[in-house]
Amino acid sequence: MSSVILSPEVYPGRVKASRGKVNSKKIERVFTGFIILLVGIIIVELGFHFWIAPSVLINKIVISSDSNFIYSDDFLLAKAGVSSSDTFFNIKTSLIEKRLMLIPAIQSVSVKKVFPSILQINIESRVPVGLSLISTDKGVVPGMIDSEGVVFMTGYNLSSMDLPVISGLEFPEIRDGMRMPKDLCSFLGDMEVVKRLSPDLYGMISEIKFVRTGDADYEVLLYPKNYRTRIRIGSSIDDKILKYIIMVLEVISGQPGMEKLKEIDFRTGDIVYRIQGE
């Protein structure tokens, strides 16, 4: 009995049909595996959201700020809307930053989550350049003013702060976060530079009084510490002007009759002396 071997050349249709069945089964297995994988991912995600995520609580909150920042951690957390029941995955750092920025004493804030259960809050507070004495309908209200002209921490007892007093400001009312007129802010910016570069000169200023000379113009009266004579300058200041003022005061302080000296005007190149009663 002889056997016959069928070659692809003799029956090409049968070979093609067999290959088609094999490819179809492979596609079916791949598709089935893909469906199983997708279902598995969905099950894992549902399990994460309903069982794992709610159980990962924030158990450590780290708040960093400078030493001059007076607000307590409890106050900040209350303002931020953070509680012990907050979970790591549900808490929104951008929302916390937005809430904390409503506190006028805060210059900037950044909030970061550190897996698995830590919340970090970094606060940069406003740096005052002076203590305000703002006249209102209800009297004089103290507060701090920074180089941007933002008034903050109003109404607190700030007598222990070693800062120049800023006077000559009048507002119908005062509230934390209000801003001084823009034309006055440039001088406060100058003061911040002097404070940073020449703290000793900055510390020799007792009071800064703004004096309006027009709708948008003003002059400044400086009251140096340890000297009875007030100094009149224009709408800007730097460490060179302050050095010159202190040098002049030291030269004339020991001369006779200087107790009658009321004011020294530095607004022009020539120094002008004004005696009391003139």
Global model pTM greater than 0.75:
no
Q: Are 24 and 82 in contact (CB under 8 A)?
A: no
pLDDT score of 140 more than 90: no
Considering the domain architecture, whether residues 138 and 258 belong to the same structural domain is answered as yes
The pLDDT score that the predictor gives to residue 135 is: 74
**Closest to 106 in 3D by CA, of 94, 81, 131, 123:** 123
| Distance set, CA 145 to CA 133, 148, 165 (Å) | 10, 8, 10
**Closest to 68 in 3D by CA, of 142, 2, 156, 1:** 156
Check residue 48 and report its DSSP letter. Answer: I
Number of domains in the chain: 2
Higher pLDDT residue, 142 or 20?
142
The pLDDT score that the predictor gives to residue 53 is: 47
pLDDT score of 222 more than 50: yes
Give the integer Cα–Cα distance in Å for 129 and 100: 22
Give the integer Cα–Cα distance in Å for 69 and 126: 9
Give the integer Cα–Cα distance in Å for 186 and 78: 35
Of 18-22, 41-45, 72-76, 211-215, the range with the lowest mean pLDDT is: 18-22
Q: Are 151 and 174 in contact (CB under 8 A)?
A: yes
**Closest to 147 in 3D by CA, of 110, 119, 109, 188:** 188
The pLDDT score that the predictor gives to residue 12 is: 54
- The pLDDT tens digits of the residues spanning 38-53 come to 766 676 565 445 455 4
Average of pLDDT values for 234-255? 90
Q: Could you give the percent of the chain with pLDDT greater than 90?
A: 44
pLDDT score of 205 more than 90: yes
The sign of the torsion formed by the CA atoms of 138, 139, 144, 146 equals positive
Higher pLDDT residue, 244 or 66?
244
The pLDDT score that the predictor gives to residue 128 is: 93
Considering the domain architecture, whether residues 66 and 169 belong to the same structural domain is answered as no
The pLDDT score that the predictor gives to residue 6 is: 46
* 3-state DSSP assignment of residue 44: helix
* Torsion angle (degrees, nearest 10) of CA 239, 245, 247, 249: -150
Average of pLDDT values for 13-36? 66
**Which domain CATH number covers 169?**
3.40.50
Is 28 inside any structural domain? no
Considering the domain architecture, whether residues 89 and 146 belong to the same structural domain is answered as no
Q: Are 134 and 174 in contact (CB under 8 A)?
A: yes
Considering the domain architecture, whether residues 120 and 139 belong to the same structural domain is answered as no
Containing structural domain, residue 118: 56-125
Considering the domain architecture, whether residues 202 and 270 belong to the same structural domain is answered as yes
Higher pLDDT residue, 77 or 37?
77
Considering the domain architecture, whether residues 214 and 263 belong to the same structural domain is answered as yes
**Which domain CATH number covers 101?**
3.10.20.310
Give the integer Cα–Cα distance in Å for 263 and 272: 8
Considering the domain architecture, whether residues 98 and 233 belong to the same structural domain is answered as no
Considering the domain architecture, whether residues 103 and 171 belong to the same structural domain is answered as no
Average of pLDDT values for 11-31? 63
pLDDT band at 139 (very low <50, low <70, confident <90, very high): confident
The pLDDT score that the predictor gives to residue 112 is: 96
- The pLDDT tens digits of the residues spanning 171-189 come to 777 788 888 888 889 999 9
Considering the domain architecture, whether residues 60 and 173 belong to the same structural domain is answered as no
Considering the domain architecture, whether residues 138 and 162 belong to the same structural domain is answered as yes
pLDDT score of 120 more than 90: yes
Considering the domain architecture, whether residues 146 and 236 belong to the same structural domain is answered as yes
Please give the structure tokens belonging to residue 18. 């067999």
Choose the most confident range, by mean pLDDT, from 7-16, 64-73, 86-95, 101-110. Answer: 101-110
pLDDT score of 197 more than 90: yes
